[in-house]
Amino acid sequence: MGFSIIVHGGAGKIEAASAPSRIAGCRAAAETGYAVLERNGSALDAVQAAVVALENNPLFNAGTGSTLNREGKVENDAAIMDGATLRAGAVAAVSGVRNPVKLARKIMEAGPHILLAGEGAHGFAREHDVELCDPAELVVAAQRAHWEKEHGTVGAAALDAHGHLAAATSTGGVFDKLPGRVGDTPLLGCGTYANEYAAVSCTGLGEDIMRVTLARHAAYLVEQGAEASSAAREAIAYCSGKTRGEAGLILVDRDGGLGFARNSVNMPVCAMADDARVVLEI
């Protein structure tokens, strides 16, 4: 059985000068996830490893490098979903957690809940030995001027050698958001979704992605027989037709088919498959 992974670094407009480092960041994250798949690891571990790599890269709006809310603070959203079992974990509006996707995974493993928010999510992290940090450590001063126009959510979707799919997404949300604002990322079927047919991670304006349940819409198109790349394009066209929001998504299907589409100017993407396919896109 083949395996593949695709990652994104967020929809938006990227200045030419920063394009190479953003695509390199996506490639490094895809390689991290690919290495897990190569060792016969699970799609779940692969997407988590890829998203952790992006969260730790200050160029991206997730983990370290997250955008600021109206009070100048970082509040993160993240989700992870296992397509084989439909198990999932998610966090919303949480502060002071170094890698929100790891917290999402812990919530998934612990059960019975899927989504924890704010103080409750922070308390859960403390109790389950998820690494906490001073929220100020997630703010990268040098990036401050660029946050609004360039930063994007990060995500990964993968198929492992056992035929299982998984998706994960992580974000600092949108610049200048109200405290407590939650976007599409931690909402299953909106910013993140995986089942036995497809794994999907979305990026863009959360409010509009929620309106069209974009990730589930794309997965449903695959279930109905669409090929991965057509499903990605059709889902984005649907979102553009119904809303005005900037959006992009990545997708892997159960045959290892890879799809991505955006209506934004840019969305850095790196995809890698075991047949030596490597796709890089800005």
Binders in 77-96 for ligand GLY, by CB under 6 A: 77
Helix (H) or strand (E) holding 219: helix 214-223
The distance of closest approach from Cβ of residue 191 to ligand GLY in the complex, given in angstroms and rounded to an integer, is: 6
Count, residues in the chain: 282
- Of the candidate residues 205, 228, 232, 273, the single one contacting ligand GLY (CB under 6 A): 205
The distance of closest approach from Cβ of residue 43 to ligand GLY in the complex, given in angstroms and rounded to an integer, is: 22
Among left, alpha and beta (phi > 0; psi -120 to 50; other), residue 259 is beta
List the strands of the sheet with 269-273, edge to edge. Answer: 115-117, 88-94, 76-82, 165-171, 154-159, 4-8, 269-273, 278-281
- Told to judge if 153 belongs to the known catalytic residues of this protein, a careful annotator would answer yes
In angstroms, rounded to a whole number, what is the distance separating the alpha carbons of residues 51 and 184? 16
Considering beta carbons, is residue 248 or 259 the nearer one to ligand GLY?
248
Considering beta carbons, is residue 9 or 191 the nearer one to ligand GLY?
191
- Of the candidate residues 12, 33, 100, 191, the single one contacting ligand GLY (CB under 6 A): 191
- Indicate whether 25 belongs to the interface with ligand GLY (CB under 6 A): no
- Of the candidate residues 96, 100, 155, 204, the single one contacting ligand GLY (CB under 6 A): 204
Nearest Cα to Cα of residue 157 among 215, 75, 208, 233: 215
Asked if residues 104 and 116 have their Cβ atoms less than 8 Å apart, the reply is: no
- Of the candidate residues 95, 143, 201, 203, the single one contacting ligand GLY (CB under 6 A): 203
Q: Which residue has the tokens 């794309």?
A: 218
Considering beta carbons, is residue 57 or 171 the nearer one to ligand GLY?
171
For the annotated catalytic residues, the residue numbers are 153
Residues that bind ligand GLY (CB under 6 A): 77, 153, 171, 173-174, 183-185, 191, 203-206
